[in-house]
Amino acid sequence: MSLEALSLNIQQGNLQDNVGWIFQAIWLLAFIIIWIYGQRIQTILMLKEIEGSLYRLKAMRDRGRQIAISTIREIGKPSEDPTPRVDRLLEHVDIEPVGLDPTGIIRRLEHIISVREFKLKDEVRRMAPQADEVQLNNLTNVLEVALALNQIYKVVRHYYLMGKKTLSFYIILQIQMLLPLIMKESEAFVNALRAFTLGQPIGDGVGALVAARLMYGREKRLIAHDTVVSEVDIDGRKAYVIKAKGPGGNVGKPGEAIKQILEEKEGRVALIIIVDAAQKLEGERSGEVVEGVGAAIGGPGVDKYKVEEVAAKYNVPLSAILIKEDVDDVISTMRKEIIDGVEEAINRIKRLIHENTKEGDTVIIAGVGNTIGIAQ
């Protein structure tokens, strides 16, 4: 081997050694940076992700506010600009009753809910003097959706700013983990604006639709606030079918209605069947019908408590028919899959009545949910 070739090999070996040392130094430096500042870098990246979602939530909040204002102007024909009243209502808060002494908390909670409902409808009536009763109920639902979007935006903004101020990894991590569910729920609320504005049936009204199908063509009477009942003959049994008064956006008071019927009959009721929507799990099919026992009534728990209390008092069995829905379906325009579940629910009701009661018995069937777009 010549001296030139030997010298060249030595230079190449030295160059490779130098490059290897450079890569090792870079790797060591990167490891030290990640070890010392890794959590800080991850925190900054999570803040950027939350910031992008926050812009989307703000756009949803503004859209809900604008739709509420424009719908009130279009339907209610107000003599003055409703914007200041809408902005004030969007900041409305509900204060729960004190729970230190639980005695009578349901009665106090019911009172607060009733006052809230009356206040919102009264405010809508002032803003939309030309609206009829059905339109007032629908406008109230639109405002409640806009209020929910505003509250979601403000809560996410609070944690974002708090995390940005403190750079606390765990504060930011909490909101970042919940963000996909929050965005999904917010998008469902945005979709609900169209349904409430146009008065279309929503997924939550599937229980009311079942009741409406059973009581179709029958005489109805008001039994509780915004709640109607019809007497229907099913296989020789007298069925009291209950639903919220429609077609405005009402949920009524099904618990009070069931309580009144049981008190009138002095407990001589063979079976109570409650039909309602239920949130499906991932992998389950929308519109799937399942059966259970208990009072299938959502919400703050006032009506559920009344049903459980009076059913236990008279020892009346409680059966539940649940129609599975995704969170997007609950407050969005009712989809065909859910409507198909109505027929299955009616068949399940008839089977339960046939198997668990005898001719001449009295049963109660309550269709629970928002009855917007579903006539009484």
- For 195-237, the pLDDT digits (tens) are 888 888 888 888 899 999 998 888 888 898 888 899 888 888 8
Please determine, for residue 9, whether its predicted confidence score (pLDDT) is greater than 80: no
Terminal Cα distance for the chain, rounded? 103
Q: Give me the long-range contacts of 46-52 (CB less than 8 A, separation at least 24).
A: 46/172, 46/173, 46/176, 47/160, 47/163, 47/164, 47/172, 49/176, 49/179, 50/156, 50/159, 50/160, 50/163, 50/172, 50/175, 50/176, 50/179, 51/160
Answer with the residue of higher pLDDT: 208 or 12: 208
Please determine, for residue 164, whether its predicted confidence score (pLDDT) is greater than 60: yes
What is the pLDDT, as a whole number, of residue 370?
86
Q: How far apart are CA 124 and CA 116, in angstroms?
A: 12
Residue with tokens 């004030």: 88
The reported pTM is: 0.83
Task: Give mean pLDDT, residues 142-151.
Answer: 90
Residue 285: strand, helix, or coil: coil
Q: Quick one: how far is CA 367 from the chain centroid?
A: 17
Q: Which DSSP state fits 362?
A: E
Please determine, for residue 7, whether its predicted confidence score (pLDDT) is greater than 70: no
What is the pLDDT, as a whole number, of residue 340?
86
The pLDDT confidence band at residue 6, using thresholds 50, 70 and 90, is: very low
The pLDDT confidence band at residue 36, using thresholds 50, 70 and 90, is: low
Residue 366 contacts residue 274 (beta carbons within 8 Å) = yes
| Selection from 51, 95, 53 nearest residue 183 by Cα | 53
Task: Give mean pLDDT, residues 340-353.
Answer: 90
CA-to-CA separations, 207 to 201, 220, 338, in angstroms, rounded: 11, 17, 10
The pLDDT confidence band at residue 25, using thresholds 50, 70 and 90, is: low
What is the pLDDT, as a whole number, of residue 56?
92
Residue 46 contacts residue 176 (beta carbons within 8 Å) = yes
Please determine, for residue 70, whether its predicted confidence score (pLDDT) is greater than 70: yes
Please determine, for residue 29, whether its predicted confidence score (pLDDT) is greater than 80: no
Task: Give mean pLDDT, residues 327-348.
Answer: 86
Please determine, for residue 172, whether its predicted confidence score (pLDDT) is greater than 70: yes
* Range with lowest mean pLDDT among 1-15, 50-64, 111-125: 1-15
Q: Which phi and psi (to 5°) does residue 362 adopt? A: -110, 135
Task: Give mean pLDDT, residues 255-265.
Answer: 89
Residue 302 contacts residue 171 (beta carbons within 8 Å) = no
Q: How far apart are CA 174 and CA 370, in angstroms?
A: 32
Answer with the residue of higher pLDDT: 23 or 338: 338
Please determine, for residue 5, whether its predicted confidence score (pLDDT) is greater than 60: no
| Selection from 285, 281, 275 nearest residue 336 by Cα | 285
Q: Is 203-367 assigned to CATH 3.40.50.1470?
A: yes
Both tokens assigned to 219: 């005489």
Task: Give mean pLDDT, residues 146-166.
Answer: 89
Task: Give mean pLDDT, residues 59-77.
Answer: 88
Residue 148 contacts residue 192 (beta carbons within 8 Å) = no
The pLDDT confidence band at residue 19, using thresholds 50, 70 and 90, is: low
Mean pLDDT of the chain: 84
Each residue's pLDDT tens digit, 280-323:
888 888 888 898 898 888 878 888 888 899 889 889 899 999 99
Residue 234: strand, helix, or coil: strand
The tally of CA atoms less than 13 A away on the side-chain side of residue 61 is 20
Task: Give mean pLDDT, residues 53-80.
Answer: 88
Sheet harboring 227-234: ordered strands across?
A: 221-224, 227-234, 237-244, 362-367, 271-279, 318-325, 289-293
Q: Which residues pair with 240 in a beta bridge?
A: 231, 364
* Cis-peptide, bond into residue 247, ω within 30° of zero: yes
Please determine, for residue 72, whether its predicted confidence score (pLDDT) is greater than 70: yes
